[in-house]
């Protein structure tokens, strides 16, 4: 039998799922109903494999104003203000059309924020690509970066941070995660909960076209690249700017009952989710939907993912008032339906009814699946590899090894990327890309500021998804703490392979469990997020990438510190954890392997370290702060030296560590701080009370970096190795 004999497979529904739909309806679904079920029961919208796992995540805290279930999460910043934030993926569209895929990813996440009444103030992006020696990967990289900058710059929202990494597993399947943060008064948060029987449904923004058809569905199948061709959305950032200003103006008043953006699955998901939250029914006439293409069917209108569109719910007598605001912003509006009391989704095209299905069938009856948790034998083998058998490097080789790491794609300068983004527009950016471990933004008219970061070490997650996900949590919070901010909430984007088979199922299950346990240990909840599965190319999954975004608050933004030190500063190493080579950049670059186990995390020490660092920054004792992550101590020192245009002489004294572990080993709960010499008694005093180990290891001075007894490196040598790595690769 052909796929024509199984039309449900065309919308990525299994035979058993189709049988469940037949049982629910007591009949075969009509074509538009089938398309809507395919979208709403997709992994992208229905979270079939991840929903049971996500229940483990802690989502509550006294300062959480909105957790998962809305367009974005919100935390209380104090003084009547809230931060609203979320991260989402646009991986599969970006694999097909990287510029528009990345651009519309930015547009979608920005709409999630202003839909809740918050003005977007910052964008961050987390990216993964395959080997840039490959022409296709260079094409994807170039155009994804351009798409992010092109859309965000036109919107007038600064792109202030993020992260990038490269691995062969991402060949053909890049990871494009976009995060947006907005600010709103705590009593002004909008929600997408339809209510009021007889209230009208208003569609505003762009006209509806055929772009994006089945985007959500085909982001949830085994071969998204092949299946997704021709369905990538096309963005218009200038129209989105108008839409954003109009929506924010409307939400400052009381004319709108609910607002929902049209993202994945378009009109289908927006109206169903609004109706479900409000426990109501909804009646839509697609004949009233403005279209930019002729001959569109009800099926196409309901499943289109055309960008820059929003749905509003309002009382009938407020429509003229709403239309006037939209007209002021040169936006059209159309009455396309109304709220009913029967709990039914009814879709008409004039007098012809195409859909008549209870709302609950699309949401509550969506099937879920138990994910297998058996660890593949190959994972155990790689993790248990005895790394002590590897030859150590000599003192004379330390400098050359550092240059090799600084010149690698994963540790090379990101300036060719972030210089394409306007990170100072809106004039709120205090610390931007390359200046600090987290971006810092002022809140105009207030002393407070916010800090934002995104983190994930995919290599760690590949070796041990439980521990790797925990590293993502602690590094995201540590980076926020490093600038003096108190972490308040996190958002996550879970990028994994196929959850229906090994190793994707095991990786997803273990990563969510690790993330949940780490959140509880750190006392920081996850308030929003997204899941992107089936990230594979020809059956080969990506490295698991559970991306974490963190938002923190600074009571006084002027105390924030970056990674720069001053001439004559003392340099201190904080933390007592023993570094290791498992999963390290050193092991990958020098020995060409991803193996071993990442160093364990001591959560008690991690909490104490972050509290200690925040105390040092807030008190003004330190000049600069930098956490130790990829590349270990030597790379962190080099990064501070290059940012400061000032060298340093560093010595760790005598210990029993190998040279490779001492200088390039990696672990959690370590940081570098620089401070004027007269601050030494105060720093050591705070360290004693905090229970955190502090070791003075050197002095900032001159134009050379000297590590122990190894030959010194000049700043020029390090800069030459580090700068332009990506630029050289992407323009060859």
As a whole number, the mean pLDDT across the chain is: 93
C-alpha closest to that of 149 among 119, 113, 105: 105
Structure tokens at 208: 């509806």
Q: Give yes or no for a contact between 621 and 574, defined as CB atoms under 8 angstroms apart.
A: no
Find residue 440's DSSP bridge partners. Answer: 431, 451
pLDDT of 1 higher than 60: no
Contact 53, 224 (CB under 8 A): no
Q: Do the Cβ atoms of 603 and 611 come closer than 8 Å?
A: no
Query: Angle of helix 504-522 relative to helix 465-482, nearest 10 degrees?
Result: 40
324-345: pLDDT as tens digits: 999 999 999 999 999 999 999 9
Can you list the positions of beta strands (E) in 533-670? 536-537, 540-541, 545-554, 570-574, 624-627, 648-650
DSSP helix/strand/coil, 84 = strand
How many whole angstroms separate alpha carbon 638 and alpha carbon 636?
Answer: 5
Q: What is the average pLDDT across 170-186?
A: 97
pLDDT tens digits for 412-428? 999 999 999 999 999 99
Provide the pLDDT for residue 230. Answer: 47
Confidence of residue 731 (pLDDT cuts 50, 70, 90): low
Look at phi and psi of residue 590 and say left if phi exceeds 0, alpha if psi is from -120 to 50, else beta.
alpha
pLDDT at position 214 is 58
Average pLDDT on 104-126 reads 97
DSSP-derived 3-state class of residue 694: strand
Q: What is the DSSP letter of 70?
A: B
Instruction: Give the mean model confidence (pLDDT) for residues 526-535.
Output: 96
**Residue 657 predicted with pLDDT over 80:** no
Entry pTM = 0.95
Of residues 127, 180, 126, 174, the one with CA closest to residue 152: 180
Q: Which CATH number among 3.90.650.10, 3.40.605.10, 3.30.70.660, 3.40.640.10 corresponds to the domain 387-405+561-730?
A: 3.90.650.10
**Which class for 370: exposed (0-12), middle (13-18), buried (19 or more C-beta within 10 A)?**
exposed
- Exposure b/e, 35-58, CB count within 10 A at least 16 = b: bbbbbbbbbbbbbbbbeebbeebb
**Which of 393, 407, 397 lies closest to 711, judged by CA?**
397
pLDDT at site 373: 83
Task: Cite the active site residues.
Answer: 44, 90
Mean pLDDT value across residues 632-639? 98
H or E element in which residue 164 lies: strand 159-166
End-to-end CA distance of the chain: 48
What topology does CATH give the domain 191-363?
Answer: Phosphoribosyl-aminoimidazole Synthetase; Chain A, domain 2 (3.90.650)
Beta strands in 600-656 (DSSP E): 624-627, 648-650
Domains 191-363 and 387-405+561-730 share a fold: yes
| Residue 285 CA, distance from chain mean position | 36
pLDDT band at 655 (very low <50, low <70, confident <90, very high): low
Closest by CA position to 647, among listed 706, 689, 598:
706
**Residue-range domain boundaries for the chain:** 191-363, 387-405+561-730
Pair of tokens at residue 634:
């030597």
């Amino acid at each position: 039998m052909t796929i024509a004999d199984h039309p449900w497979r065309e919308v990525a529904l299994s035979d058993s799922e189709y049988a469940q739909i037949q049982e629910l309806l007591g009949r075969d679904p009509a074509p538009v109903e089938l398309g809507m079920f395919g979208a709403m029961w997709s992994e992208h919208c229905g979270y079939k494999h991840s929903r049971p796992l996500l229940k483990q995540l802690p989502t509550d805290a006294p300062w959480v104003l909105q957790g998962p279930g809305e367009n974005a999460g919100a935390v209380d910043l104090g003084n009547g203000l809230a931060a609203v934030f979320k991260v989402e993926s646009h991986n599969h569209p970006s694999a097909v059309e990287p510029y528009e895929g990345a651009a519309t990813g930015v547009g979608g996440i920005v709409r999630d924020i202003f839909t809740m009444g918050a003005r977007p103030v910052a964008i961050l992006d987390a990216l993964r690509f395959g080997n840039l020696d490959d022409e296709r990967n260079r094409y994807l990289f170039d155009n994804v970066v351009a798409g992010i900058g092109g859309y965000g710059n036109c919107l007038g929202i600064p792109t202030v941070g993020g992260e990038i990494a490269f691995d062969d597993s991402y060949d053909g399947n890049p990871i494009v995660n976009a995060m947006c943060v907005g600010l709103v008064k705590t009593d002004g948060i909008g929600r997408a909960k339809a209510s009021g029987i007889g209230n009208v449904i208003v569609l505003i923004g762009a006209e509806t076209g055929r772009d994006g058809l089945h985007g959500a569905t085909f982001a949830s199948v085994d071969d998204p690249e092949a299946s997704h061709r021709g369905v990538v959305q096309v963005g218009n950032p200038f129209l989105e700017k108008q839409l954003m200003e109009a929506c924010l103006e409307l939400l400052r008043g009381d004319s709108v009952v609910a607002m929902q953006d049209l993202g994945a699955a378009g009109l289908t998901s927006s109206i169903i989710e609004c109706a479900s939250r409000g426990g109501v029914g909804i009646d839509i006439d697609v004949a009233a939907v403005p279209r930019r293409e002729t001959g569109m069917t009800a099926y196409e209108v309901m499943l289109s993912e055309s960008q820059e569109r929003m749905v509003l719910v309002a009382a009938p007598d407020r429509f003229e008032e709403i239309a006037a605001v939209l007209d002021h912003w040169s936006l059209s509006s159309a009455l396309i339906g109304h709220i009913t009391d029967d709990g039914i989704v009814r879709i008409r095209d004039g007098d012809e009814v195409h859909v008549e299905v209870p709302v609950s069938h699309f949401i509550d009856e969506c099937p879920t699946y138990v994910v297998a948790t058996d660890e593949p034998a190959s994972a155990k083998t790689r993790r248990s590899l005895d790394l002590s058998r590897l030859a150590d490097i000599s003192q004379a080789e330390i400098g050359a090894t550092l240059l090799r790491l600084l010149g690698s794609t994963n540790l090379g300068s990101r300036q060719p990327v972030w210089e394409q983004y306007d990170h100072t527009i809106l004039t709120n950016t205090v610390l931007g890309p390359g200046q600090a471990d987290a971006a810092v933004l002022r809140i105009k008219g207030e002393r407070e500021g916010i800090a934002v970061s995104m983190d994930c070490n995919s290599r760690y997650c590949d070796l041990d998804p439980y521990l790797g996900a925990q590293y993502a949590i602690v590094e995201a919070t540590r980076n926020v703490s490093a600038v003096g901010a108190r972490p308040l909430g996190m958002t996550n984007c879970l990028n994994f392979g196929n959850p229906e088979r090994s190793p994707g199922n095991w990786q997803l299950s273990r990563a969510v469990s690790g993330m949940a346990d780490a959140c509880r240990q750190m006392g920081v909840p996850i308030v929003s997020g997204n899941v992107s599965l089936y990230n594979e190319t020809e059956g080969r999954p990506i490295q698991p990438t559970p991306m974490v975004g963190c938002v923190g608050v600074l009571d006084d933004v002027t105390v924030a510190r970056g990674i720069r030190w001053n001439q004559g500063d003392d340099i201190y190493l904080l933390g007592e954890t023993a570094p290791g080579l498992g999963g390290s950049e050193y092991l990958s670059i020098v020995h060409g392997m991803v193996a071993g186990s990442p160093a364990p995390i001591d959560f008690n020490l991690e909490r104490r370290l972050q509290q200690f660092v925040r105390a040092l920054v807030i008190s003004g004792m330190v000049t600069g702060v930098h956490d130790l992550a990829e590349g270990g101590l030597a790379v962190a020192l080099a990064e501070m030296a290059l940012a400061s245009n000032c060298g340093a002489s560093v010595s760790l004294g005598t210990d029993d560590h190998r040279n490779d572990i001492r200088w390039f080993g990696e672990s959690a709960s370590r940081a570098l701080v620089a401070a004027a010499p007269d601050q030494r008694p105060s720093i050591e005093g705070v360290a004693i009370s905090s229970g955190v180990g502090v070791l003075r290891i050197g002095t900032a001075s001159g134009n050379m970096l000297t590590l122990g007894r190894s030959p010194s490196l000049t700043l020029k040598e390090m800069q030459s190795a580090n700068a332009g790595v990506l630029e050289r690769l992407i323009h060859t």
